[in-house]
Structure 1
Amino acid sequence: MLVSIENSENSQELVQEPFSSKEDYQQNPSNNIHIRYIVEQQSADLQETILIIDRKVSFVIELIDDTKATFEEAVGLATYSNSKSTVLSFVSIFESLWKQTELYHKLNE
């Protein structure tokens, strides 16, 4: 599983919550969970959540205002697709972002 998430204190807490330690999800290669944090300059106000399952299904949801009290008020358009071309387009976007984040971290080491 590949997870790319905005680098914020809140997001890091959410990711670590189900695990007893950071090593449980990042250092153990047998768990197949790989997380990359997108630094703030890279994220450029990302307001969508993209879920891709087995390169066969995609679900995209737009966040309008996360200060709203209900889910219905906080989100905008949502799209579900099992169209191969649509799903693979999102796969391509995700993989590009994944590689860009890797290069960014290597340059800043």
Structure 2
Amino acid sequence: MSLDDLNDDVTDAYGALDEELTVSLDRETRNELALLETALEPEETDELVRRAIHMLFQSTIDTGKLDFQLRTAYDVTYDEYLSGMTFEEMTGADQYPAMDDERRYQF
């Protein structure tokens, strides 16, 4: 295969993407998807989209961005979400009564 064949295949895949996907793609995304489809030869373009979502998800977890977003919006981390308990619930820190500073050192 030559570079020209690759360009032809990418162009064909690029043109076919409108028929296969119901999402709107900008020019750069469509070109990248067409090249990936040509190079990786998945059975369906949907498989590449699924892989991309999985990779984005894993990358977001690995970099801490998911935890940051979850902490900002919901005050939990991904691990807390998976376990179904907050860190305070896991460690028992929420079981103790609040400290009363006025009576803290009284016996």
Measured against the shorter chain, the TM-score band is under 0.3
Q: Larger radius of gyration, structure 1 or 2?
A: 2
With the length of structure 1 as denominator, give the TM-score of the two structures. 0.25
More contact order relative to length (CA 8 Å, sep ≥ 6):
1
The alignment's TM-score, normalised by the length of structure 2, stands at 0.25
